[in-house]
């Protein structure tokens, strides 16, 4: 069977290699900005992931199993995306400081061989330490916050800010391996 990851994320690619040896990468041209957030985070992340998966499906000329995901950070029902500037990163990290937030992922797996589709969402709670302005500014200078939802990476320098998590660690990195493995098994039945 051919597998396709609908993501250019190096983190997702690295994690997927723990489940699947060989897969192609096709970056979806799905416009995430078209999806409106209507106060239902689970539905929102699944809609984003499904848009990516269907976009890649349309471009394929042969059957494959398509894997797509989207991960967002949510604090007090407010979505914290990828920061657009140092000031934006600072404001996000200041908001997260000393609080518990949720990291949600939507995962969609499409098996084109048998037309089965699995779509799921889950969240992990992440507790941040209280951060000083110096800690935030030093972290921003590493450059790490700029391609990460919520302006931090748990698997990188940002991991030192995490007091604890409740849920799947790999979800916070960007691809919940346990859930994805179960979904892959289900679409292959």
Catalytic residues: 70
Distance CA 106, CA 119 (A): 7
Write down the H helix ranges in the chain.
10-16, 41-59, 86-96, 133-141, 169-173, 177-187
Distance CA 188, CA 55 (A): 21
Pair 172, 165: CB distance under 8 Å: yes
Pair 91, 22: CB distance under 8 Å: no
Pair 129, 53: CB distance under 8 Å: no
């Amino acid at each position: 069977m051919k597998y396709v990851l609908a993501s250019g994320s190096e983190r997702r690619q690295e994690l997927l290699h723990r489940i699947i040896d060989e897969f192609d990468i096709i970056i979806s041209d799905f416009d995430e900005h078209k999806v409106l957030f209507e106060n239902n985070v689970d539905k929102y992340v699944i809609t984003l992931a499904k848009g990516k998966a269907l976009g890649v499906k349309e471009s394929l000329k042969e059957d494959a199993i398509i894997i797509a995901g989207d991960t967002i950070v949510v604090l007090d029902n407010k979505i914290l995306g990828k920061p657009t500037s140092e000031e934006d990163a600072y404001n996000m990290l200041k908001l997260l400081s000393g609080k518990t937030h949720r990291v949600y992922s939507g995962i969609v797996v499409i098996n084109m061989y048998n037309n089965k589709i699995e779509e799921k969402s889950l969240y992990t709670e992440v507790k941040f330490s209280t951060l000083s302005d110096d800690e935030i500014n030093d972290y921003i200078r590493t450059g790490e916050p700029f391609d990460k939802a919520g302006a931090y990476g748990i698997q990188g320098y940002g991991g030192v800010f995490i007091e604890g998590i409740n849920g799947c660690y790999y979800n916070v990195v960007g691809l919940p391996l346990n859930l994805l493995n179960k979904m892959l098994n289900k679409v292959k039945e």
